[in-house]
Amino acid sequence: MFELSDESELLSANDSSVVLTTHRIIVVSEKGKDQMMLIDFVSCKMDRKNIGNYGRLSIIFFVLTCLSGILLELSNIHYQQVLQQLNLAIKDSNNPYEQLLKLLTWVFGILFLLSLLLRAMAKRVVLQITGKYNQLEFRVRNEMTLSSFINKLMDESEKRKQEQSQTTR
What would the pLDDT profile of 108-166 be if each residue is shown by its tens digit? 888 888 888 888 777 788 888 988 998 888 888 776 677 788 888 888 888 888 888 88
Alpha helices in 16-97 (DSSP H): 54-85
Q: Of 75-89, 96-110, 141-155, which gets the smallest average pLDDT?
A: 75-89
- By the 10 Å C-beta count (0-12 exposed, 13-18 middle, 19+ buried), 1 is classed as exposed
Average pLDDT of the segment spanning 23-50: 86
Amino acid present at 71: L
Residues 6+ apart with CB under 8 A from 1: 26, 33, 35
Residues 6+ apart with CB under 8 A from 105: 65, 68, 69, 72
Residue 14 has pLDDT above 80, yes or no: no
SS3 29: strand
pLDDT higher for 89 or 77?
Answer: 77
Over the chain, what is the mean pLDDT? 80
Residue 89 has pLDDT above 60, yes or no: no
| C-alpha–C-alpha distance, residues 102 and 115, integer Å | 20
Percent of the chain with pLDDT over 70: 83
Binned at pLDDT 50, 70 and 90, residue 55 comes out as confident
Binned at pLDDT 50, 70 and 90, residue 81 comes out as low
Instruction: Classify each residue of 11-22 as buried b or exposed e, where b means 16 or more C-beta atoms within 10 Å of its C-beta.
Output: eebeeeebbbbe
Q: Of 15-24, 34-43, 53-62, 138-147, which gets the smallest average pLDDT?
A: 138-147
- The pLDDT score that the predictor gives to residue 57 is 83
The pTM assigned to this predicted structure is 0.57
